[in-house]
Structure 1
Amino acid sequence: MEDNPDVKAYINLCLENEYQLLNAENGQEGIDMAMEHTPDIIISDIMMPIKNGFELCETLKQDIKTNHIPIILLTAKASQEDKISGLSIGADAYLTKPFNKKELLIRVAQLIELRKTLQKKYNLDTNLSFTIHNSADNKNDEFINNVIETIQNNMEDPNFNAFYLARTLNLSESQLYRKLKALTNTSTAIFIRKIRLLKAKQLLKTTTLSISEIAYATGFNDPSWFSKAFKEEFDISPSDIRN
């Protein structure tokens, strides 16, 4: 978000060959666009009409739909006071104008790389306890744990899908999809299926329930389809788990 046409043109020139870009004329428009599109990263000048960069940052970092998005703030004067103000409301990086193309590209690449690190944290293949360690004040941890808990609470319902999960979390399906995709690199439907299958794997190891009973208990109407999905996910059949 940048209201200076020269700076906006320069940023677009720097990034247009590497990234898809959306442009906002003021801070409020930037907030609205971020809520609608959930971009991978946001670059905003501090001095913006209607809503300034600090207000934009604070609004987006407090909203569950957008609080995971890295935000770079641009400023003509990188005073210590400005930096502290930005960091206190969740800004991820500062760039002092004028900046060069290489500096901007490095900053953007670093923040996107941090996103990949975040995705590893929320990788269900390495978090079999169904609960992510909830760091203090980490809204993303809280969000993922809430998603997992909601799926578990509806585990036996074969009709519980992305629509009902989104509605339970007070999000639209597209907002939930983009949020989950950003944090886990997994679609909503696949995430739900993974939770079901992980629960099934746990039940196979810890109970004497039959494979059909476990299939129904984890929301699969068809035990044959359950076995096929299980084999695709874990590269081993449910029956082989017990052998």
Structure 2
Amino acid sequence: YRPENKSLIIRVYNSGKGISETDLKTLFDRYRILGDLEGNNYTQTTSRNGLGLFICHSIVQSLHGTIEVKSEEGRFAEFIVRLPHLEAEEEEAEPENEEPETVPVLSSPIDETGLPGIVSPENKPCVLVVDDNKDIVWLIKESLSEAYTIVEAYSVEEAIRLMEKQTPALIITDIMMPEIDGMELISRVKSDKFTRHIPLIVVSARISEHDQAEGLDLGADAYLTKPFSAVVLRSVVNRLMTSKKELKDYYYSPESAYEQSGGQLIHQEDKEFMDAVTAIIRENLDKETLRLELIAEKMGMNTRSLYRRFKKISPLTPSDFIKDYRLNYAAQLLVTTNLSVQEIIYKVGISNRSYFYREFAAKYNQTPKEYRNKG
């Protein structure tokens, strides 16, 4: 203590490894982690100093003090804390009107996926964080708690027990954990039809391309390496949650019943109908009896109903559609096989040679021989 300037000085000196000049710049940054990430096992995987320095720095700042670090790598590290004398301020005690503490709870409402989900009293989406390092869990919680309720699990077994009770909106998991590792958790989540829809993010010190590829191949939606950026983590979580909601909204919307086919937007039921018609044509292409009546019989419909349904979907009549399919297949055979033109005519179910040549020329503006040579 120095009475002349009313300040308290605390020095902590340690000989040994020291701290590199590069690490000194980010020593008090809670989003940076020191230490040999690959050399530590399980609980020591993330760092040797944890979040202690960040917390210490925050306390010193709140007391209007300063903290200084001197170090020479391979020799020593010294921390010097200077705290000014502060007058204690007395505050009038306010009457206590305590309300029950609000904590995340496990309940059983339906989340936005339509499945039971873990929610908080504030109705924030729930994120399940799985990591055996409590510092990392705390760090992720600090990064996301403003927009999400965080449920903590310190082992895969604990995470599985929580998920058996309720379904989270998103999962963040480490890989290296004792007994059951994160890869097994990813595999279990993504192979279960009741949980495979849950977005899953890996945050791990295993940074090799092989590890990242393995996690993504198992079904992880994103793979972040430690030390990670809280800004990037929030962005990834927000993107996955937004994509999840947009996908749910799409499948509950009328638009989901349509898809692109043949350059036009077509209703799924209509596409299934046309696919069935096309399959019958393909299977019976070499038959001269391939007409509207045969297709109607195969589909269990009368010819009038089939014709009306077909005309609502296609600009062609059923007869023109069959003819067009035959000519397209003939053109394909001309350039992909050595079959003679006569053999191709028989394969597409046309018995009249003159009719084939005339219709082929009308469609492609050239004879079959010219088409083959050009192809």
In the superposition, the TM-score normalised over structure 2's length comes to 0.33
Establish whether residue 94 from structure 1 lines up as the match of residue 223 from structure 2. yes
Larger Rg: 2
- 2:220 maps to amino acid: A
Which of these residues, 159, 182, 202, is aligned with residue 53 of structure 1? 182
Structure having the higher strand fraction is 2
Work out which structure has the larger RCO, using CA pairs closer than 8 Å and 6 or more positions apart in sequence.
1
Residue pair 2:172, 2:200 contacting (<8 A) in 1 also: yes
CA distance in 2, matches of 1:94, 1:60: 16
Structure 1 segment 14-33 matched on structure 2, within 5 A: 14-33=143-162
**Kept after mapping to 1: 8 A contact 2:134/2:154:** no
Deviation per CA, 1:40-60: give whole Å up to 9, x if none.
Answer: 110000012232110000001
Q: Residues of 2 paired with 1:98 and 1:22: CA distance?
A: 21
Alignment coverage as a number of residue pairs: 132
Displacement of 1:124? 4.4
Contact 1:35 1:66 in 2 (8 A): no
- Paired amino acid for 1:99: F
Deviations 1:206-231 (A, max 9, x none): 9xxxxxxxxxxxxxxxxxxxxxxxxx
> Tell me, what secondary structure is at the counterpart of 1:21?
strand
Indicate conservation of the 8 Å contact 1:31/1:60, yes or no: no
**Equivalent residue, structure 2, for 1:43:** 172
- Using the alignment, how far apart are the partners of 1:35 and 1:15 within structure 2? 23
1:69 to 198, 216, 229: 198
SS at match of 2:183: helix
Q: Give yes or no for the alignment of 1:103 onto 2:270.
A: no
Give the deviation of 1:127 after TM superposition.
4.0
- The one-letter amino acid paired with 1:37 is Q
User: In structure 1, what is the Cα distance between the partners aligned to 2:175 and 2:154?
Assistant: 13
Structure 2 counterpart of 1:113, which letter? T
CA contact (8 A) 1:61 1:67 kept: yes
Contact between 2:175 and 2:206, CA under 8 Å: does it hold in 1?
no
- Per-residue deviation at 1:7? 0.8
What secondary structure does 1:22 align onto? strand
For the residues of structure 2 that align with 1:128 and 1:17, how far apart are their CA atoms?
37
CA distance in 2, matches of 1:87, 1:40: 19
Structure 2 unaligned spans of 5+ = 1-129, 261-308, 310-375
Deviation at 1:128, TM superposition (A): 5.0
Contact residue 144 and residue 234 of structure 2 kept, 8 A = yes
Contact in 1 for aligned 2:167/2:195 (Cα 8 Å): yes
In 1, the alpha carbon distance for the partners of 2:252 and 2:173 equals 30
Residue matched to 2:319: none
**Contact 2:131-2:173 within 8 A present in 1 as well:** yes
Where does structure 1 lack aligned partners over 5 or more consecutive residues?
134-205, 207-243
Aligned 8 A contact 1:46 1:52 in 2: yes
How far 1:24 moved relative to its partner?
Answer: 0.7
Cα distance per residue 1:157-195 (max 9 Å; x no partner): xxxxxxxxxxxxxxxxxxxxxxxxxxxxxxxxxxxxxxx
The answer to whether the 8 A contact 1:46-1:73 is kept is yes
Partner in structure 1 of residue 141 of structure 2: 12
2:203/2:228 contact within 8 Å kept: no
* Counterpart secondary structure, 2:232: helix
Q: What is the alpha-carbon distance in structure 2 between the residues aligned to residue 73 and residue 25 of structure 1?
A: 15
Shift in Å, 1:117: 2.6
SS at match of 2:150: coil
CA deviations on 1:70-95 (whole Å, 9 max, x unpaired) are: 11011113211001111111011011
Which protein has the bigger helix share?
1
- How far apart are the structure 2 equivalents of 1:72 and 1:127? 27
Pair 101,127 (structure 1): closer, same or farther in 2 beyond 3 Å: closer
CA distance in 2, matches of 1:4, 1:63: 27
Q: Which aligned pairs between 1:127-206 and structure 2 lie closer than 5 A?
A: 127-128=256-257
Distance change >3 Å, CA 81–CA 128, structure 1 → 2 = closer
Preserved CA contact (<8 Å) 1:73 1:95: yes
CA distance in 2 between counterparts of 1:79 and 1:47 reads 13
Identical aligned residues as a percent: 37
Q: Could you say what secondary structure the match of 2:173 adopts?
A: strand
Distance apart, 1:6 and its partner CA = 1.0
Match of 2:248 in 1: 119
**C-alpha separation between the residues in 2 aligned to 1:96 and 1:74?**
6
Inter-partner Cα distance in structure 2 for 1:26 and 1:126:
42
CA distance in 2, matches of 1:17, 1:71: 20
